[in-house]
Amino acid sequence: MVNNYDLDTFKTGMGMASGASTRSNYGLRDEIQAFWSDRAATFDEVPGHEIFSEAERRAWHRLLTRHLGPASGRSVLDLASGTGVVSHLLDELGFAVTGLDWSEAMLARAKAKAAARGRRIDFRLGDAERIPEADASFDVLVCRHLVWTLVDPAACFSEWLRVVRPGGSLVVVDGDFVRLGFGERLIQRLDAIARRWRLSRELSPSLTAELAERHRSILSRVYFRDGARAEDVAAMLGQAGFADIWIDRRLGDIHRAQARHMPFAKGLSRQIQHRYAISALKPAT
Ligand SMILES: C[S@@+](CC[C@H](N)C(=O)[O-])C[C@H]1O[C@@H](n2cnc3c(N)ncnc32)[C@H](O)[C@@H]1O
């Protein structure tokens, strides 16, 4: 068991430090961590990341309650909590929330939001693939938009099984952001034509060209480089030892609420993408 939140130790363990790219052990995980740190400043400006309406907030509450039932003060670990969007949703529902992320810049934003809301959420620095917590530490684990970028999901899911208590729950919210369906490709083509005729608003890119290139390069090397399909993720969770696995694609109310704050084509695409929630239980014995 690793149980160490000391920042310098953590950085050394990850091979992370300023100028880390010059270090011989700088690897894919360090690149991913650095990418998200550089992404932190503008992360919450993007609809689909932070929540822009009460309709969306209520829709997230419904999804989480559908999978987890009443919070009743249970402990939850928000894996890769980022700027704390999901941590705050869980806090609103009455869970005792710990957020774990390996990006200090993301954590700083999450902590600032908790301070602004006057809420006590315990945001910690750590790797969601090697969790610095004892076995069976949490009643519930939740993660949104982490699985697609995991380096070693099979080992990671075993690690998640370790830290959730027997009988406890896991909820994964994610999507396949790589393989576009026919509808999405059609929307992209029509949107490109519409923009040429100035009938559609140009998307102001949420990533600079440099960040977009780093994103593309990282994505080409992670395990789910061909997209994290719900069935594949569910099968791997089963192999790791999770049971009662439920793939839920009823995220329409969330996506419709998000779409109202997006350019038309992006909002339309959002509603037909391969996005899902998967919940699972750790067997009680
Ligand atoms: C797309 S953001 C999602 C943030 C948050 N879950 C949300 O949905 O708003 C991805 C986050 O995962 C974090 N992350 C990625 N891999 C991680 C890992 N192995 N351990 C801890 N954090 C990780 C990044 O630092 C970043 O904050």
Ligand 1 centre distance from Cα of residue 230 (Å): 19
Looking at the domain assignment, is residue 83 inside a domain? Answer: yes
pLDDT value of residue 108: 98
Q: Which of 11, 36, 109 best tests ligand 1's pocket when mutated (most atoms within 8 Å of CB)?
A: 36
| Residue 16 belongs to some domain of the structure | yes
CA distances from 152 to 17, 139, 187, 222, 236 (A): 22, 24, 33, 8, 11
C-alpha 185 to ligand 1 mean position (Å): 27
* Tens-place pLDDT, residues 32-64: 999 999 999 999 998 889 999 999 999 999 999
pLDDT at 194 (0 to 100): 67
The number of the ligand 1 atom at minimal distance from the alpha carbon of 106 is 27
Residue 44 lies inside a defined structural domain of this protein: yes
CATH number of the CATH domain containing 48:
3.40.50.150
Any residues with CB less than 8 A from the CB of 147 and at least 6 apart, and which?
153, 172, 174, 224, 228, 233
For the chain, 285 residues long, give each residue's pLDDT as a single digit of tens: 333 333 444 444 444 433 444 456 779 999 999 999 999 999 999 888 999 999 999 999 999 999 999 999 999 999 999 999 999 999 999 999 999 999 999 999 999 999 999 999 999 999 999 999 999 999 999 999 999 999 999 999 999 999 999 999 999 999 998 887 777 777 677 767 766 766 655 555 567 889 989 999 999 999 999 999 999 999 999 999 999 999 999 999 999 999 998 887 788 888 888 999 999 999 997
pLDDT of residue 266: 81
Tell whether 185 is covered by a domain: no
How far away, in angstroms, is 33 Cα from ligand 1 center?
A: 8
How far apart, in whole angstroms, are the C-alpha atoms of residue 283 and residue 285? Answer: 6
Q: Whole-model pTM?
A: 0.88
Asked, for residue 227, whether it belongs to a domain, the answer is: yes
Assigned domain for 202 exists = no
Q: What angle in degrees, to the nearest 10, is found between the helix axes of 85-93 and 104-117?
A: 40
pLDDT of residue 89: 98
Distance from C-alpha of 27 to C-alpha of 15, rounded to nearest angstrom? 8
What is the extent of the structural domain holding 93?
7-178+209-260+274-281
Q: What is the pLDDT of residue 190?
A: 75
Ligand 1 site, CB within 6 A: 32, 36, 49, 80-82, 85-86, 101-103, 106, 127-129, 144-146, 149
Q: Total structural domains in the chain? A: 1
Measured from the CA of 151, which atom of ligand 1 is nearest?
Answer: 19
